[in-house]
Structure 1
Amino acid sequence: MTIRNTVRDHGQRYRPRMACLKKAERMLLEMQDPKTGVRSQPQRLVITTIPHAITGEDIVSWIAETFQIDASEAKNIGTMLVALGYIYPVQDHKRLVIKSDASLYRFQTPYFWPTQQWPVEDTDYAIYLAKRNIRKKGILELHEQEQYNRLHKWMNHKWDFIVMQAKEQYRAAKERKKPDRVVFDCQERAYWVVHRPPPGTVSAMDCGLDRRIDPNAEEPRTPDFYERIMIFTQQSIMRPRVKSSVSIAALVKYCATYNSHDPFLSKCLPSNPWLTDDVTYWNLTKPNVEIPTKMRVERWTFSFGELLSDPRGRDDFRLFLKKEFSGENLAFWEVCEDLKWGTAATMSEKAEQIYKTFLARGAPRWINIDGKTMEITVSGLRHPHRYVLDAAQTHIYMLMKKDSYGRYLKSPVFKDTLKKAIFPEEHKFTDAQLEHNSKNRRPSLSPVVLRQQEQEQRAKMAANAPVDITQLCRFTTPVPHLAVYSGITDPPSANTSPTLPFLTHSPACPSPISVALDSTSASERRVEPSEGGEGNLQAPASVCANVTKSRMPLSLRRLLKRGCSPANMFASLSPKYHSAAGSSSRIQPICPDQAGQAPPRRIGK
């Protein structure tokens, strides 16, 4: 086997999630001790004898007695040793598990231990497959045949060298004794089963990228090192102190709350898919399953964060808010999360769309936030970034947590969901069923497919969103104040009547986001009275003139001074009303032929 040693890191300090290898090696050395280790003896297998063979029952019993644990936990530890390649099965080499029976196992030679960190290259794997192809006379397993064809196509430029190496190793193996040849073949096959597992097999050697810095290395004592220690110490002094009894009580309460929901402390119902290869648990806990489990619904009552972190719970909460006509709060929180964790390329576009939909005057889904938060948010929109809407998002989050969340837990929506929730019973599998499940194991969906399904779900939700009734259409005259913030740029078509005006982005009628950024606060705005008289009833030629000449009283005092006459402020909200140049404060009749009524008498002081 042509494996080269390029990196010798026996401690595995630069590789994440591999710190258990050194402990596994120490345990393996104790198991091989001739006095206190696992008893081994030669075993007759078909026509040859396997030296130093051990049974799975002896391995499980030795681990249970040495570490004072039960048989199931000892079996899990033995399975971990087999999955890491320290112990390999002699007969059923595909199943990297420990069977607590008379199945034969052997200890792997230290040459093939994972801590040697041999680089697993495709050239070595191609030589191994070519050697097996020569020995088996072209009869390989299905996945090995597919890998052989793929490597042959990819390494066609050096395939002659690979075949030559395979023939040389095969010729050298025939010169050994038969027991030694059988043992080496088993060791090599076990190595490649661990590092090139068959399809559908979970590989225990999957790990992240190698670290560039050794986390165990001592940091040099530079001035920057001591400066960081001083800053950390100062921050620790300023941190508020809590009694240990209070902290311990909080930890105990948290553990007691989540005890039944922790898969390490309690059983997964109906079964643990990692142990039984049964996907029923995953089907019941899908993100958007129609009928959730009872434990999942009960978890929504722990905190408001638990409810929002579950997509199914968020859908249920959205249904409750829709019945209370406050669904815009949850929609705003979701789009803020999308802006925070989305791509940077669409950040500005999303920020402007959020402003038009939720924050602008006359927005279709306007949210109720205080003036200070609105001022901070609008000023931050001059330079949009991921966290520009954090203040408004926090305000809406606390509003839903303190007001809507409590009423949701008492609402018929939650009670109906809790009533329909299912409680699956525990399903115990026999050994034959477990073996059948492992053979029929199929890979899960790719993350790319899951991401596409999530995007389709979002598009479906956006299509079912409520329609903005304040938006303009071809058959209505634009509303002056609402049109400026809605930003409609529908150009006139050939079939459109020339008398119907359309709003365009111009210096006089700017875009919605620029109007919000360049304008002053609402308390400082003052609308100048129009110069036209009551008899001026002709429509203007431009909508922008309507914006400058419109009259909208901003205070109740000015409204009472003018009397109770309906102003453009109220008349413009009617979709059937046609504004008359914004110069008259009287509501014009719907029919143009109908005569206008006399204005009401003004109320004196």
Structure 2
Amino acid sequence: MEDIIARMQDEKNGIPIRTVKSFLSKIPSVFSGSDIVQWMQKNLNIEDQVEALHLGTLMAAHGYFFPISDHVLTLKEDGTFYRFQTPYFWPSNCWEPENTDYAVYLCKRTMQNKARLELADLCAESLARLQRAFARKWEFIFMQAEAQAKVDKKRDKIERKILDSQERAFWDVHRPVPGCVNTTEADIKKSSRMKQPHKTRKSVYGLQNDIRSHSPTHTVTPEVKEPTEDELHDQIQHCQEQLDRHRLKMSKVAESLLSFAEQYLEYDPFFTTPEPSNPWISDDVTSWELEACKEAGQQRVKRWAFCFDEVMKDPVGREQFLKFLESEFSSENLRFWLAVQELKKRPIREVPTRVQEIWEEFLAPGAPSAINVDSRSYDKTTQNIKDPGRYAFQDAQEHIYKLMKSDSYSRFIRSSAYQELLQAKKKKSKNLF
């Protein structure tokens, strides 16, 4: 951003800075918001006006230039006048102004009898709050503000007007009005920390440490107590638990998301025109007719190979999967899962009877279609059927789902039945669901 500002301030190719005459006064060293946008589009190869406004707003929010008559640091493409900030107040100087500095600034503003320097309601409230917080040291703060005001009076009138606006803009960055972006929270000093690893706080007005130590935000550091042996063991255990936590690198997450998007690209109507067309948009009802029939198109069959969920949420997919399991004489798992799903939709008065029927068919000793569940799920289900409800078989259902996903599904996708189904649909049509 500072490189762009340096180019903006270039005498030959920069933004033209001028003095504007107004009623009974002059406004020195200003330029308009439209000047900034036009310069960015011309010199930064920005074609979109919205992008130029966004970049300019970011630079204004960091305080590199500011509106001369507004506390809200944003860029508008109109005749609003702006002024460049002096490099002394740039964020790259790693400012961390204290509340005492802000108190000196507000106090100094009250000493200057200028209408343009009158405190806004928010600033007046801040001054009153700081005056209460620094009641014991307020005399010293007042003396500092008075000394600063005397120095300012010795400056040229135009120079004083420019410096006053730049100082106000500095505090608009570090003490923004409610509703504005606080760029200091984003830690814009990261790039400078590597160059200044031993950076310390510094005062804007050169206040001594004795006054700043009484800041309401400053607390005395307590004495560090040596950790006990038990506390050290707890810390070690906590660190080991953190090491064992499953974490994914952002690169792997992004790669997975890209792979998912590419896999489902042809099924996304935002990117690929659906064939047949959407019946809600066009008058073609072919899509509804295909969905109603029991035969699945090539795209629909191909989608079953993506994951087990695609098979289970497709009625035709479940039917074909059931036929495959019946051919292997292992359909009881899927029939149990479907029965439990159907149970959840039953009227409450029919639930107890249906729970007992499912139990006797799949889980009771000597059941005709016994399923293989682990002991934990079986014990939990045994407890649940004493008070039968729609979710009495939840644990057993989840266990069976995982078994089918890890074993039966992979065999179904590799089976000749699925391959024949896929090839048959390819021959029939390439564009049916």
Higher helix content, 1 or 2: 2
Structure scoring higher RCO (CA < 8 A, sep ≥ 6) equals 2
